[in-house]
Amino acid sequence: MELRGKTALVTGAGSGIGKAAATRLAAEGARVAVLSRTAEEIEKTCAEIRSAGGEAIALTADTSDEAVMRNAVSELVGRFGGIDIVVANAGINGVWAPIDDLKPQEWDKTIAINLRGTYLTLHLTVPHLKAAGGGSIIVVSSINGTRTFTTPGATAYSATKAAQVAMVQQLALELGKHRIRVNAVCPGAIDTSISDNTASRNKQETEVPVIWPEGEIPVTGGKAGKAADVAETIAFLASDRSRHITGTPIWIDGGQSLLR
């Protein structure tokens, strides 16, 4: 229960990595604000946390909407009194297509949710971390755009993930004097439902066909990781055990990005 007395905000917490992170932080004693655009999903996440003896509130918000996010953060602070841990996880794969096929509105949507959403999450919560005398920010990036560039048509997605790591390293220096640590986790293939919401067009135009007979994830023989694998690292970065770590991306991919 090393996070007892701490308050955490987890965005995109209705499913997948966000849900796993929220439940893991709650298991360590943190009060958790579970935020997502989908009310039904976050209510289920909150119910699971409460049934396990934890404390959680549900916040319905689109992270790219300033007014809605401002209200959500205000509700969180009003309920729990402050913020100590921020997990900026909300994001989409968006549309994967050749650059001359990718529509401007498709590009804009990915940038809005993945990058503007991360910016607004940090913009609105950092004042509360400063007021608390420090804290930990964990941004969920990806191996795409940071170590690998082989996903066909994922230009917009990869650009946002690279930018998130740049933000983490920039802010680690800016916020260090406030005792705020900023780190990134960069998952590879994880067994979540995010791929169900990915639109892909004309994949054959951009992909370079490669076959890994023994699988592309060395540690697991090709099997995807679990959301819990990422959540464990997030819990570590949220805790005092990582007190001397900041500005650091951690790749959680079983060696996938080294092979790809």
Q: Which residues are catalytic?
A: 157
Number of other residues whose CB lies within 10 A of the CB of residue 1? 8
Instruction: Spell out the residues 6+ positions from residue 163 whose beta carbon is closer than 8 angstroms to its own.
Output: 115, 145
What's the Rg (C-alpha) of the chain?
Answer: 18
Beta bridge partners of 180: 135
d(Cα 234, Cα 255) in Å, to the nearest integer? 18
Structure tokens at 165: 């790591």
- CB burial class (10 A; 0-12, 13-18, 19+) of residue 99? exposed
d(Cα 81, Cα 62) in Å, to the nearest integer? 22
Structure tokens at 246: 């900041």
Instruction: Provide the angle, in degrees to the nearest 10, between the axes of the packed helices 66-80 and 117-131.
Output: 30
Instruction: Spell out the residues 6+ positions from residue 164 whose beta carbon is closer than 8 angstroms to its own.
Output: 88, 114, 115, 118, 139, 141, 184
Count of positions (residues) in the chain: 260
- CB burial class (10 A; 0-12, 13-18, 19+) of residue 109? middle
